[in-house]
Amino acid sequence: MVVLARVFFDLYISRVRDLARDSQQVILRSSWVRKTIINQEFEKRDKTAINLTKKKCRSTPQNVH
């Protein structure tokens, strides 16, 4: 009876460890995805700012001699 209880306990502990490891991987993956999305948003904003600056420079009249 004690052996059977020990076997079930070991199975339970190993399952809990597997779930903890899986959830840790999900957390790491989701934080990586969040960082990637944030970086993409910053890149879009930077590109938009650069394009607006280029357009502004082109639209201003150049020095005419």
pLDDT, residue 12, reads 92
Residues of the chain scoring pLDDT < 70: 56-65
| Nearest one of 2, 35, 56 to 10, comparing CA atoms | 2
Tokens of 53: 């600056």
50-65 pLDDT per residue, tens: 777 777 666 555 555 5
Residues of 15-48 as b/e, b for ≥16 C-beta within 10 angstroms? eeeeeeeeeeeeeeeeeeeeeeeeeeeeeeeeee
